[in-house]
């Protein structure tokens, strides 16, 4: 079917024009499909460009230096991990991270608290950041991921106490607006990268969603 443009020009009713267009699309569905595919392709390209831009800025502006980290502070290989303390895969990944740190001396591991699973995930993230204020992030991070206890405010404070942290400062930092803002910024950063779950890694300017075993992470590292 070919749309008669002259016929449309002679039609004054919007409803009649819409009827003609609808009939044309129903008789030629491939045009609509092609249009939708092109739109999807364009949206994906725009998002990929935005994602690349976020990652480039992360490295160019050395934003990774603003997050808690462990390993070689001057390491040439930077592994960034988005974590949630209620994530069972994050607990398993901790073992692999420790193996990598022992095996490779030029690795720096950066952690971005990204609480998405529950309210207690958010509380745990606040606690980890509070521990970071006392230079005890990785110790707290490790103890929390190793633990099989149910996360609660009481447990988070008890854990800080077991690490000999200043509890008064810990509680204050945990509930501060500054800590809440850090988590808010983390979530916005993750959304900009389309991070949808934990663990997710950034390695050598590329995003790797999901849990990776030792062999796979070593393969990625060796390509750098």
Are the beta carbons of 128 and 98 closer than 8 angstroms?
A: no
Order of strands, sheet of 200-203, starting from the edge strand that comes earlier in the sequence: 69-71, 107-113, 77-83, 200-203, 206-209
Strand positions, DSSP E, the chain: 69-71, 77-83, 107-113, 200-203, 206-209
Q: What is the largest CA-CA distance in the chain?
A: 84
Structure tokens at 177: 């607006």
Q: What is the pLDDT of residue 50?
A: 74
Residue 160: band (very low, low, confident or very high) from pLDDT cuts 50, 70, 90: very high
Stronger pLDDT, 34 or 140, i.e. the higher one: 140
Local structure of 123: helix, strand or coil: helix
Q: What is the pLDDT of residue 4?
A: 53
Average pLDDT over residues 72-86: 94
Predicted TM-score (pTM) of the model is: 0.79
Distance CA 29, CA 39 (A): 15
Average pLDDT over residues 155-172: 97
Residue 1: band (very low, low, confident or very high) from pLDDT cuts 50, 70, 90: very low
Q: What is the pLDDT of residue 101?
A: 94
Distance CA 27, CA 1 (A): 7
> Which percentage of the chain shows pLDDT scores above 90?
71
Q: Is the pLDDT of residue 12 over 90?
A: no
Q: What is the pLDDT of residue 14?
A: 74
Residue 42: band (very low, low, confident or very high) from pLDDT cuts 50, 70, 90: low
Report the alpha-carbon angle 164-166-170, nearest 5.
115
Topology classification of domain 68-223: Glutaredoxin (3.40.30)
What are the domain boundaries of the chain? 5-60, 68-223
Q: Is the pLDDT of residue 49 over 80?
A: no
Using the structure block, give the residue that is written with the tokens 């790797």: 208
């Amino acid at each position: 079917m070919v749309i008669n443009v002259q016929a449309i020009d002679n039609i004054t009713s919007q409803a009649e024009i819409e009827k003609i267009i609808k009939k044309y699309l129903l008789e030629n569905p491939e045009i609509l499909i092609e249009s939708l595919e092109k739109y999807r392709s364009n949206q994906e390209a725009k998002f990929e460009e935005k994602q690349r831009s976020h990652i480039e800025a992360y490295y160019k502006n050395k934003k990774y230096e603003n997050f808690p980290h462990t390993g070689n502070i001057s390491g040439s290989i930077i592994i960034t991990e988005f974590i949630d303390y209620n994530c069972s895969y994050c607990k398993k990944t901790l073992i692999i991270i420790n193996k990598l740190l022992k095996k490779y001396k030029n690795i720096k591991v950066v952690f971005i608290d990204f609480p998405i699973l529950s309210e207690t995930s958010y509380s745990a993230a606040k606690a980890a950041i509070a521990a970071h204020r006392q230079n005890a992030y990785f110790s707290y991070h490790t103890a929390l991921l190793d633990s099989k206890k149910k996360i609660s405010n009481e447990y988070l404070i008890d854990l800080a106490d077991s690490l000999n942290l200043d509890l008064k400062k810990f509680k204050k930092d945990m509930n501060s607006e500054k800590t809440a803002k850090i988590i808010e910024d983390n979530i916005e950063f993750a959304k900009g990268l389309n991070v949808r779950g934990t663990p997710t890694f950034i390695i050598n300017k590329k995003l790797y969603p999901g849990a990776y075993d030792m062999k796979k992470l070593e393969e990625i590292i060796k390509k750098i």
